[in-house]
Structure 1
């Protein structure tokens, strides 16, 4: 009789998830600042659906795109303060606040968004514990390398002098100032308006998003070089995470991996890469490459940005050489470096 009861109990355990047996239902608010048509939105919805399935239905989530819960610039603090439970963060929107991760924003660092996403996840995770200590890092990713787009053909670094440029992130903003241009601060959703009204002359942007945000309507020239990428993170409100059961926390941890970073961001990387092909075939636009000498000029011109990054890391108490060498090792491991 005891054996039969034990067998019955064991069999029941095979079918009962720990999350369904005892856990309260958790409802997460996931905040994105891109529009519904952006590839991140359906990819994030699929991620949330898999979390719900893996939790036995006890972790449910709603995705809020288009800055419904707050402005793009505020998304890190929104995760910290619990305005949203999971947020999509561009660390480069807040210059100097996250000096270590800014290494991924230096020009001519990445050539491939997919490989780069795997590399930067491996590299940054341990540093996020201190640099982003107000939140729980879920994962990191980058987009396919972006370029310079505008109304004037910019070939040499000196051509940026006097130009009003909307930078994609803070390091590119430093580059603009270094080369004699003026920065125009605008989030991605605000960028077309800035160009249309003449507030900005040029913009650094990934290729597919040029079309998504309507920037193709207000630009003509497009530099065909992997100038930069932008680093993004998904951050979790610590209180929301701590309120979960151990089983639910494990579900979240299992969905905050480099593999899931790739699943969420790969469709976006494909979208951006396809935008470059689309732009080349578009009438009224010029996509131009840089020659070897011109590229050498750009690389030399942006060298002070690395020194600035080193100084920022040192001020924060970090070992810049060690941190940089670790990133280079991951880039080499995944074949993602320029």
Structure 2
């Protein structure tokens, strides 16, 4: 049976329209997340973890969720939580310690001598947050995809090796967060609270004598030539918590199936990858410093014992802050965190 030419043309037009409609529908179902990036090119967290995770998000959602890395950071580095909460960007990495007196309960993971192995600590912090801290809702407006620590902050300065507590006195040291600031004050140093992104300028201009810093970040932020002495404190004076966070409304707008898929590759899995990247980066950083002729020394057990005694007020102050924020038994919570970290080892 022959079909009239006019009907064939009509069928072709309808078919084309149907394809266009289907394509438009598929496009409408794609959610594009704007990511505000402040990490430099080549930095371990960015290259080894975040960029592969971005690609994996698109893969596990079969292209329904894509992440667009913006050409420059939105706002300032300390303001990244607000950037996500207010919808200026959808996805951020923020550092709670950059805004003191705001995320007080979470500071439990930043206290002195919790540990110095990022491969253990990073996933342990995410697990602990979800089991024990999420209910306090300190991140209202931002959904935490992963809560983790990077390498513990160690000591780097251009003035002298630090071998005794007296060597801290008078040094102008960058501090990333409250417990590190308190530690420096207790030790007679002069803390300067600044984000990592400003460290190069402050060291090169002489405003700073040194910095607390994850070792990996010394070469990553081009600081190798600006420091002469590295001091490793076994157990670590502090750790810095970071959060991979997404605007709460944007998260809820993604389908449940895709949220589940993203959650499976985030959380503890993301944190574990961070720990591995930083553990490897730390080793490479210390090797770079040694090759550049810098001194790398480990604080003696006797001085570490003195440090622990000197820094006890930090833990006591956190317990008081946490109690004021509604934690019924802060000491029990801290004991639980230490037990979880020990179990992870």
Structure 2 residue 146 is the aligned partner of structure 1 residue 139 = yes
Match of 2:319 in 1: 310
Secondary structure of the 2:331 match is: helix
4+ long deviations beyond 6 Å: 20-23
- How far off is 1:56 after superposition? 1.3
Conserved? CA contact 1:138–1:257, under 8 Å: yes
- How far off is 1:44 after superposition? 1.1
Q: Distance in 2 between matches of 1:63 and 1:21?
A: 22
Match of 1:286 in 2: 295
Match of 1:204 in 2: 212
Q: Cα RMSD between the aligned structures?
A: 2.0
Q: Distance in 2 between matches of 1:260 and 1:306?
A: 28
- Alignment map for 1:143-292 (pairs within 5 Å): 143-151=150-158, 152-226=160-234, 227=236, 228-283=238-293, 285-292=294-301
1:285-335 per-position Cα deviation (integer Å, ceiling 9, x unaligned): 111222221111111111111011111111111131121122112101101
Q: Distance in 1 between matches of 2:278 and 2:35?
A: 18
Give unpaired runs (5+ residues) of structure 1. Answer: 1-19
- Alignment map for 1:60-75 (pairs within 5 Å): 60-64=66-70, 68-75=73-80
Match of 2:21 in 1: none
Q: Distance in 1 between matches of 2:330 and 2:166?
A: 29
Normalising to structure 1: TM-score of the pair?
0.87
Which residue of the other structure, out of 85, 88, 98, is the alignment partner of 1:83?
Answer: 88
For residues 154 and 264 of structure 1, do their structure 2 counterparts lie closer, same or farther at Cα, with a shift above 3 Å needed? Answer: closer
Secondary structure of the 2:216 match is: helix
1:148-188 per-position Cα deviation (integer Å, ceiling 9, x unaligned): 11022222223222221101322101111222222212211
Match of 1:58 in 2: 64
Q: Distance in 2 between matches of 1:277 and 1:315?
A: 44
Match of 2:20 in 1: none
Match of 2:309 in 1: 300
Conserved? CA contact 1:47–1:264, under 8 Å: no
- How far off is 1:21 after superposition? 7.8
Normalising to structure 2: TM-score of the pair?
0.85
Q: Which has the larger radius of gyration?
A: 2
- How far off is 1:219 after superposition? 1.2
Match of 2:337 in 1: 327
Match of 1:119 in 2: 124
Match of 1:47 in 2: 53
Q: Distance in 2 between matches of 1:181 and 1:192?
A: 19
Match of 1:36 in 2: 41
Q: Distance in 1 between matches of 2:172 and 2:98?
A: 18
Secondary structure of the 2:254 match is: coil
Larger displacement relative to structure 2 (83-92 or 177-186)? 177-186
- How far off is 1:265 after superposition? 4.8
For residues 264 and 107 of structure 1, do their structure 2 counterparts lie closer, same or farther at Cα, with a shift above 3 Å needed? Answer: closer
- How far off is 1:88 after superposition? 0.4
Conserved? CA contact 1:23–1:58, under 8 Å: no
